Structure 1
């Protein structure tokens, strides 16, 4: 699973030749900073006296500020519900307006929601702000990932998504660090100062977008082929060889024309037909790895749980856990271009499952003790390291599987279902970790351990699914991936498959008169392959 991949990518397979596109992708992935920032900030708010004095209550028995479990659930989960709603809207919005306008819209909604959270002391207004903030986050994440999937060179998509995850981890570190700096404040500024950071990343990205082109693949789906060619030229360095540029553009243009012809207007229906049904299911499954491995409760409730468990300086330890995630994604830079994505997923989910099991066993053996608390902290760090090391490539593969015409609809639906799963994790976690909830003080150890045993089981299922059903896509162009799915290639044979139809598209010089001839060659090749591989899984 480490050898070279057979690929029809016509571009130079280095980094230096694609500096310009890499810079554009890095600035686009600033959108993920916002998601990491929210997860870290809000988790810390629930242990801040300055926040609890406004939205919580004073516990006379324990002589400390606390928060009602229902309020805790709604503050955390309404943002996730918003991401669900926002992600579902990505397909229709993108089909009409494109990827760039989706990111601009996300910035506008973010500004409104942040302003409400800064100014209100009313729970209802806070709930509403959290909901629409979730819509903006869903748009940020989905439009960002669809865009970079479509513009990055095939051999560098892994690096781009590692950058995406590092931005998310940096956002989490910034959020945890700012929370640590303000958590002792007793005024409203304790949470308002961190909230003001929500304006930073969207502002930077909104300005940068004025200088970036629209996705050439999206423009091709709209029939705006000359604009698509101009867009692709802006994405590639000026010194690119003309034959390389024309080969890549021909590949995108011919394949996208074929995809548009197959998928007319009812895209919500077409994504469940023929070979697209397999691609849709795979995209949803792989993206939902993020909610199925137990990351939601660890990301949201780490600070709160450490404090309830009696571990001193919970805010500092929470920041340390977040730093472990950043180390994990930096570590992934070393192997993402050399190791197959299936292997990355297999090792990642196995390590996350074992970490959840270790957490459960330690807390079951000695609940609410200092030794168990330190062991659980160690397993949380291990989980975070491996989760963040593999997570970006699950997002990446989920965006690679759909065809160009259906990508926004499929990826938006998959992201929405992932956030729905996250919502379930976030909404139910307080019943396991909040002493004021149904768990009760004396059952906290048993309930906490039960939660992690459940997550261990779900990670085991993810491991088996990856081994049997997830195709390998490392270094493949999106058009090659389309050809393999159309030919019904079994998952275990993706790596060695030679995409002759895609290679045939490169031989034109980009002249208009040659495109139809190449399309005929491609169609004939696809028909022959489909017939020879009929019945393959």
Structure 2
């Protein structure tokens, strides 16, 4: 499962050097994920900062330390996730009308607004509102960026590009943890205001760069803008690309997208995505993306520093940096195998490792709670969990985008992202009840619950997740329309898509009828 060549209709050169331009464009677009990693690391650290707790927490006379009320802790963490849920649901309707780039620009504007409020206000209500708006921004950054790179990258490099996406997220986490570590001893508001100012950097870079990048060619085709779609594809590929390769790829996109649009019996995409073969594709997209919330990553990501502090682990802030660095190492390691190992194998290995890590530190805390040995075991298995999670996580996102067709991709991906963040919200919102000493005080024993959920993910992958490595989006569409069972995707020869690539190079060979679609 980790080797054999795929008989694919991808007409492009299957190397990296021939597509450097597109990789660079996708790299800058994925700067959006930097924001998500940054938020997780920064806000998780705020919960243990005296400078932050003096403003939004209280002084505990019993412990003689600054603390935060569990409800405030929950709302600050979870309102961002709720905002992401709401924003993700709006991605489809917005994208149908305005496209991918305008979604990223709007996300930047919302980010600037929310960050300014968080820096400038000490009112807890304003903080809640800003966190919600930031969540909408993050949801749009994540979803629009991933939809764009799914539609722009060559089929054989989508895995590499999504690894870059996860690298950006891990780098954001490292930067956030490092800045928190540098400012956490400050007793003034600057302890959290300085880290928050970093939220302005990535969106500014991306917003300027987008003026020089083309819109997604596949989105343009769904709008019937054939000439613009070809021009967009040409701008995404290197200038020295063979004309026959470019035309073959464009023919696949043009003919397949036209067929996808014509298959739709109505204009309401929210309804059409649940009909016929598209129902299976939508459900799979939602399911695989929700792996991120179902493996227990949410409570570990956002509460690592707080959790280690409560568990009695010394030097919790430096350890949190080490954990985030392990995440970066995990995704960097995946760059060496993603082009050669099947998606299913990566997912299976990832969820198995994550589940065993959750079980391991739960057992360690059960047998020796509060001891130095248990603390070291918890740190060790959190590091292994983070490494394993980031090594497979980008490919769950990737599969979620590959399963939908060009017409429904933004709607299905937006819904899947929303459901994932709803699950994240549940994890973040309920975690304090389990790990906070003022509530159940389970600490690392919380991992028992997440071991069970990872076991379910493993079984689901075995029976229901199709293999799509090196397939063009048009080939994937053909295989779903053929109603193949999951285990038959690998090795299937897509003759119809190969014929599309060999079709005449003139637009007139296939009549393209523009059908306006709405949410």
Give TM class, smaller chain: over 0.9
> CA separation in 2, counterparts of 1:354 and 1:164?
26
> CA separation in 2, counterparts of 1:302 and 1:429?
11
Which of 408, 416, 419 aligns to 1:417? It is: 419
Residue of structure 2 in register with 1:432 after alignment: 434
* Pair 1:69 & 2:70 matched: yes
Per-residue CA deviations over 1:427-452 (Å, capped at 9, x if unaligned) read: 0000111122x22xxxx2xx235421
Per-residue CA deviations over 1:195-241 (Å, capped at 9, x if unaligned) read: 00000000000000000000000000001111101101111111111
> CA separation in 2, counterparts of 1:393 and 1:230?
29
Which of 457, 466, 471 aligns to 2:452? It is: 457
> CA separation in 1, counterparts of 2:7 and 2:386?
33
Per-residue CA deviations over 1:2-48 (Å, capped at 9, x if unaligned) read: 21112110001011111111100000000000000000000000000
**Structure-to-structure mapping, 1:460-499, within 5 angstroms:** 460-499=455-494
SS at structure 1 position matched to 2:212: coil
Which of 268, 287, 292 aligns to 1:285? It is: 287
- 8 Å CA contact 1:250, 1:515 repeated in 2: no
> CA separation in 2, counterparts of 1:37 and 1:64?
27
- 8 Å CA contact 2:436, 2:443 repeated in 1: no
> CA separation in 2, counterparts of 1:157 and 1:308?
40
Which of 362, 378, 381 aligns to 2:380? It is: 378
* Pair 1:241 & 2:242 matched: yes
* Pair 1:136 & 2:131 matched: no
SS at structure 2 position matched to 1:474: coil
- 8 Å CA contact 1:9, 1:477 repeated in 2: yes
SS at structure 2 position matched to 1:238: coil
Residue of structure 1 in register with 2:273 after alignment: 271
Residue of structure 1 in register with 2:395 after alignment: 393
- 8 Å CA contact 1:29, 1:167 repeated in 2: yes
TM-score (norm 2): 0.97
- 8 Å CA contact 1:399, 1:407 repeated in 2: yes
> CA separation in 2, counterparts of 1:448 and 1:458?
18
Unaligned runs of 5+ in 1: 520-537
> CA separation in 1, counterparts of 2:497 and 2:220?
20
Which of 326, 333, 336 aligns to 1:334? It is: 336
* Pair 1:354 & 2:356 matched: yes
> CA separation in 1, counterparts of 2:419 and 2:307?
26
Q: CA RMSD in A?
A: 1.0
Shift of 1:276: 0.3
Shift of 1:513: 3.1
Residue of structure 2 in register with 1:528 after alignment: none
> CA separation in 1, counterparts of 2:376 and 2:444?
15
Per-residue CA deviations over 1:497-516 (Å, capped at 9, x if unaligned) read: 00000000111241133225
Residue of structure 1 in register with 2:262 after alignment: 261
> CA separation in 2, counterparts of 1:248 and 1:349?
34
- 8 Å CA contact 2:435, 2:446 repeated in 1: no
Per-residue CA deviations over 1:106-165 (Å, capped at 9, x if unaligned) read: 000000000000001000000000000000000000000000000000000000000000
Residue of structure 1 in register with 2:147 after alignment: 146
Residue of structure 2 in register with 1:532 after alignment: none
Unaligned runs of 5+ in 2: 514-519
> CA separation in 1, counterparts of 2:372 and 2:507?
72
> CA separation in 2, counterparts of 1:457 and 1:512?
53
* Pair 1:184 & 2:185 matched: yes
> CA separation in 1, counterparts of 2:504 and 2:262?
23
SS at structure 1 position matched to 2:391: helix
> CA separation in 2, counterparts of 1:115 and 1:203?
14
Residue of structure 1 in register with 2:84 after alignment: 83
Residue of structure 1 in register with 2:166 after alignment: 165
Residue of structure 2 in register with 1:524 after alignment: none
* Pair 1:42 & 2:43 matched: yes
Shifted more, 1-10 versus 173-182: the winner is: 1-10
